[in-house]
Amino acid sequence: MLLVFSLPMSNAAVESFFIWILFCFIARNIFVRPSWENIKTFFRDKINLSGLIFYICIGLSLFVSGSLLAQSLRAWIFKWGEGALLFCMAQVFLKKKHVKILLWVFIVSTFIICIDGFYQRIAGVDFIRGFKLVRVSATTLFASTASFRHYNNFSSFLVPVFFIVHAMLIKVKKAPLKLSLVFLLLFIIINVFFTYSRGAWAAFLVVNIFLIIFSTNREIKIVPFILFSFLVLSVIVFPQMKEKLFSVIGRDPGAGRFGIWRIAVLMFRESPLFGKGLGLFMNKLSNYTETMPQHTHNCYLQILAETGLVGFLSFMWFLKEIVSRCFYKLSNGVDFLFVGLFSGFLAFLIHAFFDTHLFSLKLAIMFWVLAGFLSVYIREDFTANGEAIKQGGL
């Protein structure tokens, strides 16, 4: 619970609470040792098996890391290992009722972060970490970051949580709580706008369109409809908003990304099987350009460049197992909370095409936490080997 609450606020807190969860996990397995049959059952589930295979596969890129083996090993054990362990521990410790509680913790944490974002716009510095507004490249605009180091990271946290809050709004019955969630949705939308993150805007709009088109429930459709109407009216009525919107859209369409993407593809072509070494993209970048070391601004291309086809395809298998089961669950009726959780996960994956969430500690942990929540939420609909359980009338 504390890890989820501190997720958007502090890397150090996330690391500390992860160590505590790991300690509890180890202690549990010492005193209640899982049988070999339990372990086999766990990995008979294709989501868990694909996650294990992915982690092993990206570890194979250690063999091509050369003199930077120690750095690559740290990335494998700590950066990727922490997330993979959290995913497994979520399924050991959590049940659906626990996931619901933790999502409320996410919402409380988001409320604090949104207030921090508003405070930063007024005072010029956030009250949690003391971070200043960041100038958006090729514009005169300054974007909100709240407790994150970059505005893209701030928006990457907010957009998935928006859909979770949307689901909670539909689910709760008490009027004061509903009103609070309505205000929180507005806070999130305003903060996302002031991040000026085009990747976040794209993910936000795509998932809202997805809900409008594919949802058969009017309660799920109504917020996206209201939102689109509000955005259109805002652009028409407020010239300043229109000016800001188009100044962001009109800047360098690639923001330097296309050149970095080409280099990532070139790295992959030079070492297609195992890539250039896990966690080494920025180190290798200087061999191709004089650009300052940076990530690819595309999670999928960076995984491809660092770990080759072996790592990339195993990651796609892992995502496929989660997403395909989520679509199956969607076809079996409306569970508002699940729809919100899945929509948030999709938004994260879409935005990851334009940025490097999986290479930022807070957002990487958020990815594994959301994946773990989804896996816990859907496992009752499937047998131990991941086959769908046939339900009445379907």
Share of the chain above pLDDT 70, in %: 83
For 326-353, what is the mean pLDDT? 85
- Cβ-Cβ contacts under 8 Å for 37 (sequence gap 6 or more): none
| Residue 150 pLDDT greater than 90, yes or no | no
Q: What is the SS3 assignment for 358?
A: helix
Q: What is the SS3 assignment for 382?
A: strand
Cα–Cα distances in angstroms (integers) from residue 332 to residues 47, 145, 381, 389, in the given order: 20, 39, 10, 11
What does the pLDDT look like over 254-272, one tens digit per residue? 556 778 888 889 999 998 9
For 63-87, what is the mean pLDDT? 89
In sign, the C-alpha dihedral spanning 69, 72, 73, 74 is: positive
- Cβ-Cβ contacts under 8 Å for 305 (sequence gap 6 or more): 263, 264, 265, 267, 268, 275, 276, 281, 284, 296
Burial status of residue 15 (CB atoms within 10 A of its CB: 0-12, 13-18, 19 or more) = middle
Q: How far apart are CA 376 and CA 50, in angstroms?
A: 16
- Cβ-Cβ contacts under 8 Å for 32 (sequence gap 6 or more): none
pTM value? 0.86
Of residues 339 and 386, the one with the higher pLDDT is: 339
Across the chain, mean pLDDT equals 81
264-278: b (≥16 Cβ within 10 Å) or e = beebbeebeebbbbb
Share of the chain above pLDDT 90, in %: 23
Closest residue by Cα to residue 119 from 107, 108, 131, 109: 131
Of residues 22 and 252, the one with the higher pLDDT is: 22
Q: Is 376:382 a contact under the CB 8 Å cutoff?
A: no
Q: pLDDT tier at 354 (50, 70, 90 boundaries)? A: confident
Torsion, Cα 4 133 300 250, to 10 degrees, reads 140
For 287-300, what is the mean pLDDT? 77
Cα–Cα distances in angstroms (integers) from residue 109 to residues 2, 9, 125, 262, 341, in the given order: 10, 9, 19, 38, 16
Question: Dihedrals φ, ψ of 12, to 5°?
Answer: -60, -40
What does the pLDDT look like over 12-64, one tens digit per residue? 878 887 787 778 777 777 777 777 777 778 788 889 899 999 999 999 999 98
E strands, the chain, where? 134-135, 142-143
Q: How far apart are CA 52 and CA 61, in angstroms?
A: 15
Question: Dihedrals φ, ψ of 335, to 5°?
Answer: -120, 105
Q: How far apart are CA 202 and CA 346, in angstroms?
A: 12
